[in-house]
Amino acid sequence: MTLVDTNQGVLVVVMNYTADVLDFGVAVKKARAASCTSKWSSLGMMLALAAQRLIAGALAARGANLNTLNNFALLVAGNSVSLEASLKHVHMPGRDPGSVHNDSLGAGEVELGVRIHHEPDETYHR
């Protein structure tokens, strides 16, 4: 955070995944310890995160202050919904494609409720 002018503060927008929350949480604490004003916003949905960052970026470009950016980011996060769907499982090169979730999608099937790393969501449906 020292590579750019942070006089107005820094808004950190993170997906609510354990590693991201831990890593960026440490970064925010370090920034605050270095007297950099920072606000934190996290959410669990991929598409909502993109909308949140786009809106916050547009507001920042128009000169909005950090509190306004944070309030809008939280408003977007609280009013956003996304639904992820997959027609095919992804797999690591060199691994058996059929080993993902010990099953595979059949012809004409779609999987709803998958997460960013393609693990099933709490509301996993086929």
Structural domain spans, the chain: 10-78, 85-125
Tens digit of each residue's pLDDT (9 = 90 or more) over 25-49: 898 899 889 888 888 777 666 556 6
As a whole number, mean pLDDT of residues 98-124 equals: 63
Instruction: Give the pLDDT confidence score for residue 117 in this predicted structure.
Output: 63
CB-based burial of residue 105 (10 Å sphere; 0-12 exposed, 13-18 middle, 19+ buried)?
Answer: middle
Give the tens place of pLDDT for each residue, 76-94. 877 877 777 777 766 667 7
Our answer to whether residue 117 is catalytic in this structure is: yes
Taking the C-alpha atoms of residue 73 and residue 102, their distance in angstroms, rounded to an integer, is 38
Which one of 89, 91, 101, 117 is the catalytic residue?
117
pLDDT band at 13 (very low <50, low <70, confident <90, very high): confident
Higher pLDDT among residues 69 and 5, named by residue: 69
